Structure 1
Amino acid sequence: MTPYRVLVVDDSGFMRKIVSDLIERDVSFTVVDTAKNGLEAVEKIMKLKPDIVTMDVEMPEMNGLESLKIIMRQYPLPVIMLSGINEEGMRETIMALEAGAFDFIRKPSASSSQDIEAVGEALLRQLHAAVHDSAWGKQKSAAQQPKPGDPAASAASPAADSPPQETAKPPGAADPAASPARTPRPAEPRPKTDAAPPAARPRREDAASPAAPKTPAPAPATPKTGGAASVPAPRPSSTPDKKPASPAAGRPSAAPAFTPAPQTRPEPAPAPARKPAASAPKSEPAAERRPAAGTPAPVSRPLAGGDSIDQIVAVGCSTGGPRALKELLENIPASFPAPIVIVQHMPPKFTHSLAQRLNTLSPLEVVEAQHGMQLRKGTAYIAPGAYHLLIKRTGDGRYMIELSDAPPQNGHKPSVGAMFDSILPLNEVRRHAVIMTGMGSDGAKEMKKLYDSGISTTIAESEETCVVYGMPRSAAELNCVMHLLPLPQIATKLNQVVKS
């Protein structure tokens, strides 16, 4: 097998050498060249056409974020960002993930061989995921299949293998400000999600159904479509008109065009009006966010009068999650009558930057969860890196966040599974569980337990919009997904089920 070709970009010659050596430990990859800044990286990508790029975030002349935006427009391919842990680097890393980067890793400490080894293992895992499990990797594999045969076979194979992809691929060029849209991938069959549903459960939706009329987001603050709320969410084939700036031409990309969401919101006024007052929670002392394990949960914010909680939305995601969360939370209105608790696999400190960024984009109040916070309607809580986020009911009927320092669950900390397990006994409230893009299977078994317990709603992101169709696939294969939906339809469905 021909090794995948990698371009390494970093302004430090020493770091370029370290990263190159880590990559070439695996015979599946070869470093074809290096670049010392973003401008040089763009030039070499156009010339060498590598399969994947590792990109430093902070560089002179042209930084990684600026370079990434050009790459995503002109020659989209998987880009793994290497980020420092300073505030500016973390903020730009989050923006790079929104702009189309496949994922990121923390830059290793040059003085610690143990740290270099740990970063090397994480980098190779991401490289393999990018070339094997992502949209880019599967499209590349499909394109390579007919090459060993003659020209006739080469011409016949795409016709046989990719009709769904060609019919679903939107025409036209991408908006320069948006990252390229992903197209459906025919390489693998979609797992069945409608096998043997219990008679009393809601019907699961088949993402391959014919186009259906678009359904509304029931919230008055964010009307986007017409029709009755009781109509099932539209199928993937009906989604292109939801995000008019999303279409992209050229190479398939795992980076969805999620940035144009504000163009689809007819009434954006509620968000700006709400943000000044909602920014107060961010001034809480950082020390309150990291209690010692077992510390009693303090009451950090009393609930407003009448703001009782009768339902909870729990969302889990991993690779590709920051872009997916942006798309989701931009389309949830400030009047959403439930709290949203979120686990995104991400290291410490980066989750704080993620929450700050999403808070500027969503009508909701978005915060990094703190130990002892009371759940409030219209607020999204993101689990801090290195802590499990659990939901507990107090004796007086309130619902609180508990941050746990327990060992990793399903190989992750925070873990989607740990969060789902914490809402399993809360059958006095309506529970809604969502799994979106990500590697692995975190949360799938726990979603199955919730499904069997009578949870109100289970939603998984369908393959055509996932950066990596791992976690949602695992849940779908357990036959516990009621609604298998492309990303643009998940917010609409949540608005329907929570307000119904």
Structure 2
Amino acid sequence: MIKVMVVDDSAFMRKMLSDLIEQDGRIQVIATARNGVDALEKISKYNPDVITLDVEMPVMNGIEALKNIMARHPKPVIMVSSTTKEGADTTIQAMEFGAFDFIPKPSGSISLDIYKVQNDLNNKIVHAARTPLKILNKSNENNITTETDPNRLIESTRNFVVRENNNNLPLLDSRMIVAIGTSTGGPKALQKILPEIREDFPAPILIVQHMPKGFTKSLSERLNKLSNITVKEAEDGEILKKGIAYIAPGGYHLKVRGVGTSVVVKLDQSPLMNGHRPSVDTMFYSLAQLKDQDVLAVILTGMGSDGTKGLKVLKESNKTIALAESEATAIVYGMPRAAIESKYVDDVVTLNKVATTIEKYSI
């Protein structure tokens, strides 16, 4: 049984969240707290496996509470955030300080419709409880290597041979596009990768990060400040340019279409794919429609298998090199595992080697 502590300044929200969580037979709410100070006092007493933490609270807010939790009582933390611009900015910041993931309050601080995120919340709690704390700990994020835990590397490469000699891989030409797909743990992974990409990077980068509307804007702004390349939310109709990373807006699929010799962004709200919009599969399917388009496809941390079916189509129709993040560093190994087991992945690398590997194939 997974033990959870619910932290929220609203008694109503504490009750609502507790009731929703306990409807899942795998999870038990063992304690609640009304603010960060109260939470810190109760963590040592109750020792929860996972904590849900409201972003906006009096006395000690969510960010300060998170910093203290990760420093004093490291636990997987899921932030519960309002969808305001301020709430989204704070949530992205929380990912930097070690939060596992977040769920949005659908309609503000007191969400009568919080039940809409029940399945998402409970699935994230289950995955959070399984995640090694050393991967979440911000102080260790740059020190994780394939040698850190040989058992995780062995598992991640079982039935798969990582190609150390890349002579058999296709050479991608100057018209290549980099396409990155990620979900849970993605903001932290992207924050590691994009700042390491050089300013004159010779290709556009498309990114699908599973996030609801409002949060991808804050994510792109934060990554843009940290990176040498330009990082922005994709806009419908804009022409892809080298050295710019385009993040799919929450609630929209990121597709592309050819216009003459250019490739143009196409955003739409067509049906969800794999329960997601944006979807990695949808992005890959769209790229596969471009004639003679070379693609460097990258699958990072995330729940589920989004991207695997699209990768198969992409590999069969275009000159494509596929990378996947190793289990040794993936916060959630679902998406990379599915891609690797499909046998369409060419290289498996730890997070701290993703940027250099992208650069290697892009020269």
What TM-score, normalized to structure 1? 0.66
Alignment-derived partner of residue 216 in structure 1: none
Structure 1 residue runs without a partner (length 5+): 137-168, 204-229, 231-307
Question: Which whole-Å deviations, capped at 9, do the CAs of 1:129-182 have from their partners, x for residues lacking one?
Answer: 2224x335xxxxxxxxxxxxxxxxxxxxxxxxxxxxxxxx99xxx886x77966
Q: Shift in Å at residue 37 of structure 1?
A: 1.3
Alignment-derived partner of residue 236 in structure 2: 371
Kindly indicate whether the alpha-carbon contact (under 8 Å) linking 2:302 and 2:335 is maintained by their aligned counterparts in 1. Answer: yes
Matched, 1:20 2:8: no
CA distance in 2, matches of 1:28, 1:482: 36
SS of alignment partner, residue 328 of structure 2 = helix
Kindly indicate whether the alpha-carbon contact (under 8 Å) linking 2:159 and 2:341 is maintained by their aligned counterparts in 1. Answer: yes
Q: Shift in Å at residue 451 of structure 1?
A: 2.2
The 1:125–1:362 alpha-carbon spacing in structure 2 relative to 1, beyond 3 Å, is same
Matched, 1:436 2:293: no
Alignment-derived partner of residue 82 in structure 1: 80
Q: Shift in Å at residue 126 of structure 1?
A: 1.2
Matched, 1:486 2:350: yes
CA distance in 2, matches of 1:363, 1:36: 41
CA distance in 2, matches of 1:435, 1:339: 17
CA distance in 2, matches of 1:18, 1:409: 29
What TM-score, normalized to structure 2? 0.90
Alignment of 1:347-496 (within 5 A): 347-394=212-259, 396-496=260-360
Structure 1 range deviating more: 451-460 or 350-359: 451-460
Matched, 1:497 2:361: yes
Question: Which whole-Å deviations, capped at 9, do the CAs of 1:236-263 have from their partners, x for residues lacking one?
Answer: xxxxxxxxxxxxxxxxxxxxxxxxxxxx
The 1:195–1:43 alpha-carbon spacing in structure 2 relative to 1, beyond 3 Å, is closer
Q: Which of 179, 189, 213 is matched with 2:155 structurally?
A: 189
Q: Shift in Å at residue 489 of structure 1?
A: 0.4
SS of alignment partner, residue 78 of structure 2 = strand
CA distance in 2, matches of 1:452, 1:201: 16
Sequence identity (%): 46
Structure 2 residue runs without a partner (length 5+): none
Q: Shift in Å at residue 202 of structure 1?
A: 2.5
Q: Shift in Å at residue 427 of structure 1?
A: 4.3
Q: Which of 320, 328, 334 is matched with 2:185 structurally?
A: 320
The 1:108–1:412 alpha-carbon spacing in structure 2 relative to 1, beyond 3 Å, is closer
CA distance in 2, matches of 1:185, 1:467: 16
Kindly indicate whether the alpha-carbon contact (under 8 Å) linking 1:436 and 1:461 is maintained by their aligned counterparts in 2. Answer: yes
Alignment-derived partner of residue 285 in structure 1: none
Kindly indicate whether the alpha-carbon contact (under 8 Å) linking 2:176 and 2:295 is maintained by their aligned counterparts in 1. Answer: yes
Letter of the 2:227 partner, please give it.
Answer: S
Q: Shift in Å at residue 44 of structure 1?
A: 1.7
Alignment of 1:74-473 (within 5 A): 74-109=72-107, 115-132=113-130, 134-135=131-132, 184=149, 186=151, 189-190=155-156, 191-194=158-161, 201-202=168-169, 310-394=175-259, 396-473=260-337
Kindly indicate whether the alpha-carbon contact (under 8 Å) linking 2:20 and 2:118 is maintained by their aligned counterparts in 1. Answer: yes
Looking at secondary structure, tell me which structure has more strand per residue: 2
Question: Which whole-Å deviations, capped at 9, do the CAs of 1:82-116 have from their partners, x for residues lacking one?
Answer: 00011111101011112211110012548775x23
Q: Shift in Å at residue 200 of structure 1?
A: 8.5
State how many pairs are aligned: 353
Alignment-derived partner of residue 46 in structure 2: 48
Q: Shift in Å at residue 453 of structure 1?
A: 3.1
SS of alignment partner, residue 27 of structure 1 = coil
Question: Which whole-Å deviations, capped at 9, do the CAs of 1:190-244 have from their partners, x for residues lacking one?
Answer: 3322299xx98429xxxxxxxxxxxxxxxxxxxxxxxxxx9xxxxxxxxxxxxxx
Q: Shift in Å at residue 409 of structure 1?
A: 1.3
Q: Shift in Å at residue 454 of structure 1?
A: 4.7
Q: Shift in Å at residue 441 of structure 1?
A: 0.3
Kindly indicate whether the alpha-carbon contact (under 8 Å) linking 1:436 and 1:472 is maintained by their aligned counterparts in 2. Answer: yes
The 1:180–1:28 alpha-carbon spacing in structure 2 relative to 1, beyond 3 Å, is farther
SS of alignment partner, residue 463 of structure 1 = coil
Kindly indicate whether the alpha-carbon contact (under 8 Å) linking 1:309 and 1:399 is maintained by their aligned counterparts in 2. Answer: no
Q: Shift in Å at residue 39 of structure 1?
A: 2.0
Kindly indicate whether the alpha-carbon contact (under 8 Å) linking 1:184 and 1:463 is maintained by their aligned counterparts in 2. Answer: no
The 1:67–1:195 alpha-carbon spacing in structure 2 relative to 1, beyond 3 Å, is closer
Kindly indicate whether the alpha-carbon contact (under 8 Å) linking 2:288 and 2:318 is maintained by their aligned counterparts in 1. Answer: no
SS of alignment partner, residue 465 of structure 1 = coil
Letter of the 1:438 partner, please give it.
Answer: G
> Which portions of structure 1, spanning 4 or more consecutive aligned residues, are displaced by more than 4 angstroms?
108-113, 178-183
Kindly indicate whether the alpha-carbon contact (under 8 Å) linking 2:36 and 2:62 is maintained by their aligned counterparts in 1. Answer: yes
The 1:398–1:76 alpha-carbon spacing in structure 2 relative to 1, beyond 3 Å, is same
Kindly indicate whether the alpha-carbon contact (under 8 Å) linking 2:98 and 2:138 is maintained by their aligned counterparts in 1. Answer: no
Letter of the 1:135 partner, please give it.
Answer: P
Letter of the 2:244 partner, please give it.
Answer: T
CA distance in 1, matches of 2:352, 2:72: 24
Q: Shift in Å at residue 445 of structure 1?
A: 1.6
CA distance in 2, matches of 1:175, 1:339: 29
The 1:181–1:46 alpha-carbon spacing in structure 2 relative to 1, beyond 3 Å, is farther
